[in-house]
Chain A
Amino acid sequence: MARHIVARTSDIPPGGNKVFGVEGRDIVVFHVNGEFFALLNRCPHEGAPLAKAACVARLTSPEPGVYERSRVGELLRCPWHGWEFDMRSGQSWFDPKRVKVRSYPVAVESGEELQKGPYVAETFPVHVEDNYVIVEV
């Protein structure tokens, strides 16, 4: 897998996302609770753009009348038919064995580390004071 620097951490506001073309694929990077997650920008069901998904909480109910919210903002709700996907793994909550969004490893590294490493994109201006979001594709 090659590593691609896609953005400065400050380019993607908390709770927001941004789509990047990486090796011919549209990849959407989400910024949730200080973490970054990258997924293919295409729902495996009928192809909706996941960049338009709602970032929701996991809602569970151990029994009728009792409701629990957890992992706030980490679940994606597809903008079309509402299937939910786990941002961490791309796994669907609907039929997890069969349905999964392709997800990609994401790292955040400081400009300083990048300069030292082998993966500095030539055309990408590196500001040592910033942190960068790196997607492995």
Chain B
Amino acid sequence: MSDVIDRPILAEEVAAQSRLRIIDCDVHPSIHAHSDIEQFMPKRWQEHLRTYGSHLRTPYIGTTPYPRSSPLIARRDAWPPTGGPPGSDLDFMRKQHLDPLDIEYGILQVLDLFIFSQQNLEFGAAIQRAINDWQLAFWSDREPRLKASILAGQDDTEFAIAEIERCAKIGRYVQINVCPRANEPLGRRRYWPIYARAQELGLPLGIHVGGYGGHAPTGGGWPSYYVEEHQSNAHTMAAQLTSLVLEGVPERFPNLKIVFIEGGFGWIPSATWRMDRHFEAFRSEVPHLKRRPSEYVKEHFWFTTQPIDEPDEAKHLRSLIEWVGADRLLFSSDYPHWDFDDPRYAFKTPLTETERRKIFNGNARALYKL
């Protein structure tokens, strides 16, 4: 890694005008077979996984609730020729994704086994731990472009801290991921010890939306359609941003960096405008906030780009990028899922060279210290 940092950045940037390598902040590896993961689990939990499966709110073992647009929510062309689910074959991932798109680094985001939805907290802890080890053994050790995240379900704060310590000692993880739909909104104090540790370690906090928490994914209840559920990712993100900001997390942890993953970014302006306006009226209710909510948003939060918004008129995407700020955005593809964004074609509006460099590479390089 150090050769990357030591290279003269300026010269590299000039050369990069023609060839901009991509840092992809949302790549999904998946488990080829349960036995891959079981080797990192105590016998007791291996048996539990085999007997009871993943999570009480999901159907039978080995199934997902429904195909969600396509089997395993995957691109139809992402099934490895060698068998196994999309995202489970490193060589195929190299061939289909990392090499042709010239990915310099890919940040791994594991969703398998409903890691964050487990209400049996000990079982949840066992699979988080196993997956943290598996990410290194099966991915990062074999492919230095792929960077692992520490998965730490925050509803068992004590375990989360222990797992963060354990992984931080290994030192190869670039981020701490917590549950996007935990038992309580993310700003709550019960979760603060995790944020304190993340700040001390200088690791960004990653929040990848999706999965099944115990709550309906919309404030209005359970959706009927997948297209309806997919919309709810933006509501979830807006709710979590509001909770984090208004409960005072960035105020209390000024060096904590928070990354919202897979929520897109079209919803940010209105959520933030509304917070600012209400803050003026209700300032006395939240006197722990020293600044306007938008100022915290602009300094402490980053947002990955996928699924990118595609307004009918390109100029509206343009203003959105300008409003959110090119320095807040991190390119992500969501490979190998069905709503994958191709860095070459996803932005339906022209970007300046500076914006491209920031969004596709520079912001992530600085944030994850790559």
Cβ contact within 8 Å between A46 and B338: no
Residue A111 at the B interface, CB < 8 A?
no
Cβ contact within 8 Å between B77 and A46: no
Residue of A nearest to B310 (CB): A45
Cβ contact within 8 Å between B77 and A48: yes
Cβ contact within 8 Å between A46 and B346: yes
Cβ contact within 8 Å between A47 and B342: yes
Nearest-neighbour CB distance to chain A for B180, whole angstroms, equals: 22
Cβ contact within 8 Å between A53 and B76: yes
Also in contact, A48 and B75, with CB within 8 A (given A81-B338, A81-B339): yes
Residue A54 at the B interface, CB < 8 A?
yes
Bound-state Cα–Cα, A79 to B335, Å: 13
Residue of B nearest to A47 (CB): B345
Residue B344 at the A interface, CB < 8 A?
yes
Bound-state Cα–Cα, A49 to B339, Å: 14
Partner of A82, one of B338, B341, B342, B344: B338
A54 partner residues in chain B, CB cutoff 8 A: 76
Partner of B76, one of A45, A47, A79: A79
Residue A80 at the B interface, CB < 8 A?
yes
Number of A-B pairs whose CB atoms are under 8 Å?
34
Bound-state Cα–Cα, A52 to B75, Å: 9
Cβ contact within 8 Å between B70 and A82: yes
B77 partner residues in chain A, CB cutoff 8 A: 48-49, 52, 79-80
Cβ contact within 8 Å between B75 and A79: yes
Nearest-neighbour CB distance to chain A for B197, whole angstroms, equals: 38
A47 partner residues in chain B, CB cutoff 8 A: 342, 344-345
Residue B253 at the A interface, CB < 8 A?
no
Partner of B339, one of A52, A53, A80: A80
Nearest-neighbour CB distance to chain B for A62, whole angstroms, equals: 18
Which range contains the number of B residues in contact with the other chain?
A: 10 to 19
> Chain B at the A interface: mostly helix, strand, loop or mixed?
loop
Bound-state Cα–Cα, A126 to B41, Å: 62
Q: Mark B49-80, 1 if CB is under 8 A from A, else 0.
A: 00000000000000000000110000111000
Nearest-neighbour CB distance to chain B for A101, whole angstroms, equals: 14
Which of A46, A53, A82 has the most chain B CB atoms inside 10 A of its CB? A46
Partner of A52, one of B69, B76, B341, B342: B76
Nearest-neighbour CB distance to chain B for A60, whole angstroms, equals: 16
Bound-state Cα–Cα, A80 to B76, Å: 7
A81 partner residues in chain B, CB cutoff 8 A: 338-340
Bound-state Cα–Cα, A82 to B307, Å: 14
B346 partner residues in chain A, CB cutoff 8 A: 46
Residue of A nearest to B344 (CB): A47
Q: Mark A49-79, 1 if CB is under 8 A from B, else 0.
A: 1001110000000000000000000000001
Bound-state Cα–Cα, A82 to B75, Å: 9
Nearest-neighbour CB distance to chain B for A47, whole angstroms, equals: 5
Bound-state Cα–Cα, A81 to B345, Å: 13
Nearest-neighbour CB distance to chain B for A30, whole angstroms, equals: 15
B75 partner residues in chain A, CB cutoff 8 A: 48, 52, 79-80
Bound-state Cα–Cα, A79 to B340, Å: 10
Nearest-neighbour CB distance to chain A for B15, whole angstroms, equals: 26
Nearest-neighbour CB distance to chain B for A118, whole angstroms, equals: 38
B342 partner residues in chain A, CB cutoff 8 A: 46-48
Cβ contact within 8 Å between A80 and B340: yes
A80 partner residues in chain B, CB cutoff 8 A: 75-77, 338-340
Nearest-neighbour CB distance to chain A for B51, whole angstroms, equals: 36
Which of B76, B77, B339 has the most chain A CB atoms inside 10 A of its CB? B76
Bound-state Cα–Cα, A81 to B70, Å: 10
> Mind listing 26 A-B residue pairs with CB under 8 Å?
A45-B345, A46-B340, A46-B342, A46-B346, A47-B342, A47-B344, A48-B75, A48-B77, A48-B342, A52-B75, A52-B76, A52-B77, A53-B76, A54-B76, A79-B70, A79-B75, A79-B76, A79-B77, A80-B75, A80-B338, A80-B339, A80-B340, A81-B338, A81-B339, A82-B70, A82-B338
* 14 additional A-B residue pairs with CB within 8 Å, beyond A46-B345, A80-B338, A82-B69: A45-B345, A46-B341, A46-B342, A47-B342, A47-B344, A47-B345, A48-B75, A48-B342, A54-B76, A79-B70, A79-B75, A79-B76, A80-B339, A81-B340
Instruction: Report A's interface with B, CB cutoff 8 A.
Output: 45-49, 52-54, 79-82
Instruction: Report B's interface with A, CB cutoff 8 A.
Output: 69-70, 75-77, 338-342, 344-346
